[in-house]
Amino acid sequence: MFHLTVAYIFIYVCLGLIALGILLLFQMKISHNRELRNREMYAKKHHDYFVYVQANLQDNVELRLPPGKLKKLEKRVVQDKFIEWIEQFKGDYRHKLIELCREAGFVEEDLKALRSIRYGRRLEAAYRLGGMRAREAVPMLQNILQKRKYSSLSIVLARSIAKAADNSEDLLQMLRTLLSHGKPIHNLAADIMLETGLDSSAILLKLLNDSDSALVKVGLVAMWGQAVPEVMPVLGRLVGAEEKDVRAEAVKLYLTTNPALKDDTIAQLMSDRSWEVRAEAARALGQLHAAGSIPLLTDALRDSSWKVRYNSAESLAQLGEAGFEALCQAALTGAGIQREAALHRIELVMEKEREHSAIEQMVAYNKKRLLYDRYFGVKQPAKRVGGVAAVGGDYSA
Amino acid sequence: MYYGMIAVYYVMIVNILYFTIMALSYRNIGTIYRRSRYSNYNTLSGSELVPPVSLLVPAFNEELTISENVNCLLTLNYPTYEVIVINDGSSDNTVDVLIKEFRLKKMTNPEFRGTIDTQEVRGVYHNPDYPSLFVIDKENGGKADSLNAGINLSHYPLISSIDADSLLEKDALIRMARMYMENPEEMVAIGGDVRIANGCLIENGAVQKVSLPRKIWPMFQSIEYMKAFLGGRIGWSQMNGLIIVSGAFGLFRKDYVIAVGGYRGGYPGEDMNIIIKLHRYMLSHKIPYKVAFCPEAVCWTQAPDTYKIISNQRKRWGRGNLKNMIENRGMLFNPKYKVMGLITMPYNVLFETLNPYFRITGLLALVGYTLLDMTHWRILLTFFLLNFLSGYLLSVGAIILEEIAFRRYKKLSDLWKMLLFSALKFFGYHQLGVLWRVQGHIQYLQNNNSWGTMTRQSWSEESKTA
């Protein structure tokens, strides 16, 4: 009978929890739906005010606050709209909206919420304070970021700091805290850092000169797609850095600027330990039209990294007839992965150039065609659909 | 009578375990809600700093839905990615539909970087106007084989497997990538949340309006998925004991998938198999890692809506599960495999694989005793109530999780419907689930290795009828 009693207790507990759960569900659903409806209503109510603000952003007039005494949710609707615009606009418009948030008391209210004992509330406030670019919140945000264990929510805090910080020291401090957990989150950290409204070239220079290699890496990845002439000397130094990742990133960036390279530098880069460095060097050689490097590139068709082989073949194809001939030779006499890489590129070249119509391109194509025919005969080489090289093949890229 | 009581205890213990897993989901739900609420995906989806991804889409007889799905995949909010559709020797016009829709041409010499063995590839199709789309046409070899062929052609360090009958939400991939970027070294696999699209309004390859399915089979599955994904996987992911990343939508580190030899061909359950292999590899090599679940990354899938198709699917799952458990029995109770060996695997064997047998024999014993002596009817009733109430409580728990963090179903009537079907599930559907699993096990013993029929209807048709 004892066993049955245990089972009964279990049943009663389940029943009780089910009843509670269902009540909770309806309460949540109804209140969520009510909130949605009210939000819509308030958005409609303040529609004219929003139009007024938008229309007067460019004028030199002081913007009025929303009319009447606002309810809590009403305030939130207005604030959310302002934050949305702050994200979209830059310069004076943004500045005016930030000031408006301050005057309306939104900043002050969220600063107060930042002291709440509930973490959820603090985080919500932190998110909005970042949106409102509230620099006065930064010390408290840094404090919370330092105290909490690293999680997805640290990223929310870090983004808010990046948005709100008005000096580079705060930004660097935030990055240091974020990276202090030893996770290789350089890409994410760079993305967060780029949220800043401050001049990024000065910050990049600071990052690249930092003694902490994690910060240097953040600087390097953040520079992708940006031309920052001020940092070129530092980049030149980092190309010789000891740490593999830093060196690879620096070389990649350095070579995108198409610098003039000495023969021994080329040889050194092409025999670097890191495949990323070799791949970047191989890629750059084609663009630099460094015909003297054809033997190096032909050798690199045998590299263990797919990316190096691919880039070498691509560069050879860019180096005129001599390069193309080297490719043909490798395709015909080489074996395994070297032949694969060369053959693939030759096919691409022949396919692409056939489509060209301009006379000089026709001439270039015909020259290559002649070379091609000399190596492979007039007939097309057997198609290699689906065949996969017997050896090699890496997945580093 | 003793066996009957053991069955009663078994049900209680199983459910206490389920509740524990769900408690872990509850512990984490606040963080999940906040991280998706307070993340702005606009900046990230335009950033060059986000890692590029190869989407692998195996397709077998998908001529009705494939165009719309590929169109959907080509317009995700994600900076750099490619879509590789792998036609697995379809007997319909899957490839022709794609060639026509995207004006594809056969590549003369496509380069395969990978070297995993696959069935013969007949050709690779491409059109420079759609630079990020590739279509591999290959001999039939199964889903795992197709994924392996996709891996061989893929150009990027992360791969994502996506079922051809699934629609990704536009932000789904960037949400997953955010999770990856937060811990890129340890994250080896991330699973997405799979939801049932039947009943939703689908236009231009995207779910425009969310509604619950109108037919009963998909409706039951809707509840079932919610319970499994929100109630179960969030919790398992918390303790790094996730045993499966759904084949419908998952993100993987390509280097590790290759290191474990790619997907295992020739048998269903390849999605569970790859995750077990990853756990095994990382733990054997003592590399810190994480297999995570990202519930805010949502993929909508077409659920089977006829008895025949759903029973085939479930038998296949049952077979795959049993095969995986037998293949990896060495991990059971092996402390070397930590959470996997000591908790996840034993749990799976005792409470998932063997679950039908305990329940059926327990029920039979109790019915037998009651027939012999009618005074035992109380115990029989208790057994029923235990099963029903604890299962129902889990469903209610999962719906609360949905309401806290996701709120995809807005109407109050949806809530009624979910609560009603969560209860109805225990009168028929639940028992069928047990039966299908046993049938799957029988198929395994008979060496029946077919995938079974899986027919699709086009999305527009589905929108109208479901």
Q: Is A317 contained in some domain? A: yes
- Residue of A36, A185, A224 lying closest to B181 (CB–CB): A185
Instruction: List chain B residues with CB under 8 Å of A36.
Output: 410
Q: Mean pLDDT, to the nearest integer, of A120-134?
A: 96
Say yes or no: B136 and B239 in one domain.
yes
Contact B396 A22 (CB under 8 A): yes
> Looking at residue B204, what is its pLDDT?
79
Question: Of B253, B288, B309, which residue constitutes the final position of a domain?
Answer: B309
The pLDDT-based confidence of A2 (bands split at 50, 70, 90) is low
Contact A184 B185 (CB under 8 A): yes
- Residue of A188, A222, A386 lying closest to B122 (CB–CB): A386
Determine which of B111, B118, B404, B426 to mutate to test the interface with A (most A C-beta atoms within 10 Å): B111
Instruction: List chain B residues with CB under 8 Å of A11.
Output: 382, 385-386, 389
- Residue in A closest to B8 by C-alpha: A7
Say yes or no: B1 and B101 in one domain.
no
Residues B195 and B298 sit within 8 Å (Cβ to Cβ): yes
Q: Does B6 touch chain A (CB under 8 A)?
A: no
pLDDT 10s per residue in chain B (466 long)?
Answer: 577 778 778 888 888 899 999 999 999 999 999 999 998 887 888 888 899 999 999 999 999 889 988 998 999 999 999 999 999 999 999 999 999 999 999 987 787 878 899 999 999 999 988 999 999 999 999 999 999 999 999 999 999 999 988 899 999 999 999 999 999 999 999 999 999 999 999 887 788 899 999 999 999 999 999 999 999 999 999 999 999 999 899 999 999 999 999 998 877 889 999 999 999 999 999 999 999 999 999 999 989 999 999 999 999 999 999 999 999 999 999 999 999 999 999 999 988 899 889 888 888 887 888 888 876 788 888 888 988 999 999 999 999 999 999 999 999 999 999 999 999 999 999 999 999 999 999 999 987 766 665 566 666 655 554 4
Instruction: List chain A residues with CB under 8 Å of B181.
Output: 185, 187-188, 191
Instruction: List chain A residues with CB under 8 Å of B31.
Output: 151-153
> Looking at residue A390, what is its pLDDT?
34
Instruction: List chain A residues with CB under 8 Å of B152.
Output: 388
The model's pLDDT over A331-343, given as tens digits with 9 standing for 90+, comes to: 888 777 888 888 8
Q: Is A19 contained in some domain? A: yes
Residues of chain A with pLDDT > 70, as a percent, come to 91
Say yes or no: B279 and B414 in one domain.
no
The pLDDT-based confidence of A134 (bands split at 50, 70, 90) is very high
Say yes or no: B227 and B300 in one domain.
yes
Chain A: give the shortest CA distance to residue B1, in Å. Answer: 12
Domain containing residue A21: 1-35
Domain containing residue B146: 41-309
Please report the residues numbered 114 through 153 in chain B whose beta carbons come closer than 8 angstroms to any beta carbon of chain A: 114-115, 120-124, 138, 152
Ramachandran angles phi, psi of B311, nearest 5°: -65, -40
Q: What is the ipTM of this complex?
A: 0.91
The model's pLDDT over A7-29, given as tens digits with 9 standing for 90+, comes to: 899 899 999 999 999 999 999 99
Contact B403 A124 (CB under 8 A): no
Which residue's entry shows tokens 């590739």?
Answer: B134
Determine which of A14, A31, A256 to mutate to test the interface with B (most B C-beta atoms within 10 Å): A14
Cα–Cα distance, A263 to A295 (Å, whole number): 12
Determine which of B16, B19, B22, B113 to mutate to test the interface with A (most A C-beta atoms within 10 Å): B113
Chain A: give the shortest CA distance to residue B107, in Å. Answer: 8
Contact B110 A123 (CB under 8 A): no
Q: Is B327 contained in some domain? A: no
Question: Of B309, B329, B359, which residue constitutes the final position of a domain?
Answer: B309
Contact B389 A14 (CB under 8 A): yes
- Residue of A6, A124, A344 lying closest to B109 (CB–CB): A344
Q: Is A282 contained in some domain? A: no
How many other C-beta atoms are found inside a 10 Å radius of the C-beta of residue A120? 13
Q: Is B337 contained in some domain? A: no
The model's pLDDT over A37-62, given as tens digits with 9 standing for 90+, comes to: 999 999 999 999 999 998 888 888 88
Residues A154 and A145 sit within 8 Å (Cβ to Cβ): yes
Contact B184 A185 (CB under 8 A): yes
Q: Is A251 contained in some domain? A: no
Q: Does B17 touch chain A (CB under 8 A)?
A: no
Checking if the pLDDT of A382 tops 50, the result is no
Instruction: List chain A residues with CB under 8 Å of B34.
Output: 120, 123-124, 153, 156
Please report the residues numbered 221 through 260 in chain B whose beta carbons come closer than 8 angstroms to any beta carbon of chain A: 254-255, 258
Say yes or no: B147 and B226 in one domain.
yes
Checking if the pLDDT of A385 tops 50, the result is no
Q: Is A283 contained in some domain? A: no
Residues B378 and A7 sit within 8 Å (Cβ to Cβ): no
Checking if the pLDDT of A86 tops 70, the result is yes
Contact A29 B44 (CB under 8 A): no
Say yes or no: B130 and B257 in one domain.
yes
The model's pLDDT over A217-235, given as tens digits with 9 standing for 90+, comes to: 999 888 876 767 777 777 7
Q: Is A380 contained in some domain? A: yes
Q: What is the dihedral of CA B118, B122, B127, B131, to 10 degrees?
A: 10
Contact B34 A123 (CB under 8 A): yes
Ramachandran angles phi, psi of B53, nearest 5°: -130, 140
Q: Does B105 touch chain A (CB under 8 A)?
A: no
Contact A87 B393 (CB under 8 A): no
Q: Is B217 contained in some domain? A: yes
> SS3 letters for B108-141?
CCCCCCCCCCCCCEEEEEECCCCCCEEEEEECCC
Q: Is B322 contained in some domain? A: no
> Looking at residue B1, what is its pLDDT?
59
DSSP H/E element including B87: strand B81-88
Cα–Cα distance, B262 to B248 (Å, whole number): 17
Q: Is B196 contained in some domain? A: yes
Say yes or no: B143 and B251 in one domain.
yes
Say yes or no: B169 and B253 in one domain.
yes
Q: Is A328 contained in some domain? A: yes
Checking if the pLDDT of A395 tops 60, the result is no
- Residue of B121, B255, B403 lying closest to A29 (CB–CB): B403
Say yes or no: B363 and B412 in one domain.
yes
Chain A: give the shortest CA distance to residue B34, in Å. Answer: 7
CB pairs under 8 A between A and B: 168
Sorted by sequence, the CB contacts under 8 Å of residue A282 that are 6+ apart come out as A270, A297, A300, A308, A311, A312, A315
> Looking at residue B338, what is its pLDDT?
92
Cα–Cα distance, B350 to B18 (Å, whole number): 13
> Looking at residue B304, what is its pLDDT?
92
Into how many domains does chain B fold? Answer: 2
Say yes or no: B222 and B361 in one domain.
no
Q: Give the CA distances from residue B438 to residues A49, B315, B328, B434, in Å, rounded to whole numbers and listed in that order.
A: 65, 8, 20, 6
Say yes or no: B240 and B389 in one domain.
no
Q: Is B335 contained in some domain? A: no
Into how many domains does chain A fold? Answer: 2
Contact A385 B419 (CB under 8 A): no
Mean pLDDT of chain A: 85
Distance of CA B243 to the CA centre of its chain: 11
Higher pLDDT, B61 or A353: B61
Instruction: List chain B residues with CB under 8 Å of A224.
Output: 48-49
Question: Of B309, B333, B352, which residue constitutes the final position of a domain?
Answer: B309
CATH at B149: 3.90.550.10
Q: Is A261 contained in some domain? A: no
Q: Is B424 contained in some domain? A: yes
**DSSP letter string over A240-280?**
T-SSHHHHHHHHHHHHHT-----HHHHHHHHT-SSHHHHHH
Contact A191 B43 (CB under 8 A): yes
Residues B459 and B65 sit within 8 Å (Cβ to Cβ): yes
Say yes or no: B107 and B255 in one domain.
yes
Residues A228 and A220 sit within 8 Å (Cβ to Cβ): no
Contact B155 A10 (CB under 8 A): no
Sorted by sequence, the CB contacts under 8 Å of residue B281 that are 6+ apart come out as B256, B259, B260
Q: Is B324 contained in some domain? A: no
